[in-house]
C-alpha cells in the first residue's frame, strides 16, 4: 500500500512522526538504508525551520488577541464611566435624547460583542462626545478617541497576523514542506517497490515497500466501526454544546439579575433623595413655626 498523502490539515508534529518513522525504518534495514539520509535531511533542514516559523506566527496571533482583549476591557470600563456621567447630566432620566443617543440599548449590550463589533458602534460616538459642552463628557470623548485608535490598530494587527499564518499554511514554507515530504515518500515507495522486482534473488515480499510507512488504524476500520466512532464523537460534541448553552444561560441570568439590582438601587437612591427633600421641607416648616411661636403677642391697649 502506497503511503498516504499528508495534507496541510495535518500538524507539523504529525508530519514529523510520519517522516521519522520512515527514517528509522529504512535505517534499520540494510536493503533500504540508503534512503534514510533524505528523510533525516528533511527533518533537520526544513521541518525545524517550519516549526519555528509557525510558532512565531501563532505567537503573533496570540499577542494580537491579547491586545484586543485588553482594549476591550478598557472600553468596557469606559462605557460604565460614560454611562454614569451621562446619568448625572440627564438627572437620571433615560427617556431624553441626550441619553438615548448612546444608550437606546443598555450599556451591557455594548460591552458584550467582540472588539471589532464594538468598534463599529462606538467609533461614531467620538465626535459628538468630544464636542459636548459638559467638560467631563468632552474629556471622556477624548479618552474614547484614543481607545478607538488603539483598538482599530489592534484589530488590524490581528487580521494581518491571521493572514500571514494562512499564507504560510497554504502557499508558504509549510505548504512547501508538506509537498516535499509527500514527494519524497511517494518516490521512496516507488524505488523500494522497484527493488522487489529488480532483485528477485533477495526474495523480498511484495508488501515490503509499504512496511517503511505508517498506515493509520483509521484506514483499516470497517464502515460500521467508523460509524460508531462518529456517533460517539457527535454525542460528545452535543454534550459540549449543551454545557456551553447552560453556562451561557447562567451568565445571562446573572447579568439580568445585576441589571435588576442596579435598577432597584437607583430607585432606592431616588426615593431617598425624595425623602430627604421632604425632610428638609418639613424641617424648614417646623423652623418657621418655631420662629412664629417665639414672638410674644403684643398686649392690647387699655
Q: What does the pLDDT read at residue 182?
A: 95
Q: What does the pLDDT read at residue 224?
A: 66
Q: Which of 58-62, 82-86, 287-291 has the lowest mean pLDDT?
A: 287-291
Instruction: Check the CA dihedral 203-209-212-218 and report its sign.
Output: negative
Q: How many residues does the chain have?
A: 302
pLDDT tier, 302 (very low <50, low <70, confident <90, very high otherwise) = very low
The string of pLDDT tens digits covering residues 25-45 is 999 999 999 999 999 999 999
Q: What does the pLDDT read at residue 275?
A: 86
The string of pLDDT tens digits covering residues 77-87 is 999 999 999 99
For residues 53-70, average pLDDT:
94
**Over 70: is that where the pLDDT of 217 sits?**
no
The string of pLDDT tens digits covering residues 188-202 is 999 999 998 888 888
Task: Read off the pTM.
Answer: 0.63
Top pLDDT among 121 and 57 is at: 57
Amino acid at each position: 500500500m502506497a503511503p498516504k498523502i499528508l495534507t496541510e490539515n495535518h500538524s507539523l508534529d504529525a508530519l514529523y512522526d510520519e517522516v521519522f518513522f520512515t527514517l528509522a525504518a529504512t535505517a534499520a534495514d540494510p536493503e533500504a538504508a540508503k534512503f534514510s539520509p533524505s528523510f533525516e535531511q528533511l527533518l533537520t533542514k526544513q521541518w525545524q525551520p517550519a516549526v519555528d516559523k509557525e510558532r512565531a506566527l501563532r505567537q503573533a496571533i496570540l499577542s494580537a488577541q491579547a491586545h484586543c482583549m485588553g482594549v476591550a476591557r478598557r472600553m468596557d470600563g469606559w462605557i460604565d464611566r460614560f454611562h454614569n456621567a451621562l446619568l448625572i447630566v440627564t438627572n437620571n432620566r433615560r427617556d431624553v435624547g441626550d441619553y438615548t443617543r448612546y444608550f437606546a440599548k443598555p450599556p451591557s449590550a455594548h460591552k458584550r460583542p467582540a472588539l471589532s463589533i464594538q468598534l463599529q458602534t462606538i467609533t461614531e460616538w467620538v465626535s459628538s462626545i468630544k464636542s459636548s459642552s459638559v467638560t467631563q463628557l468632552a474629556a471622556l470623548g477624548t479618552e474614547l478617541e484614543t481607545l478607538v485608535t488603539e483598538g482599530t490598530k489592534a484589530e488590524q494587527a490581528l487580521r494581518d497576523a491571521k493572514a500571514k499564518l494562512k499564507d504560510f499554511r497554504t502557499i508558504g514554507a509549510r505548504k512547501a514542506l508538506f509537498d516535499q515530504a509527500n514527494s519524497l515518500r511517494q518516490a521512496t515507495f516507488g524505488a523500494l517497490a522497484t527493488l522487489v522486482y529488480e532483485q528477485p534473488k533477495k526474495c523480498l515480499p511484495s508488501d515490503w515497500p509499504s512496511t517503511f510507512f505508517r498506515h493509520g488504524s483509521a484506514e483499516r476500520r470497517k464502515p460500521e466501526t467508523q460509524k460508531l466512532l462518529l456517533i460517539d464523537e457527535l454525542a460528545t460534541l452535543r454534550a459540549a454544546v449543551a454545557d456551553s448553552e447552560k453556562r451561557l444561560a447562567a451568565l445571562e441570568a446573572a447579568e439580568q439579575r445585576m441589571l435588576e439590582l442596579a435598577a432597584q438601587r437607583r430607585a432606592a437612591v431616588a426615593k431617598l433623595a425624595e425623602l430627604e427633600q421632604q425632610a428638609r421641607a418639613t424641617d424648614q416648616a417646623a423652623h418657621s413655626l418655631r420662629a412664629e411661636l417665639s414672638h410674644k403677642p403684643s398686649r392690647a391697649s387699655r
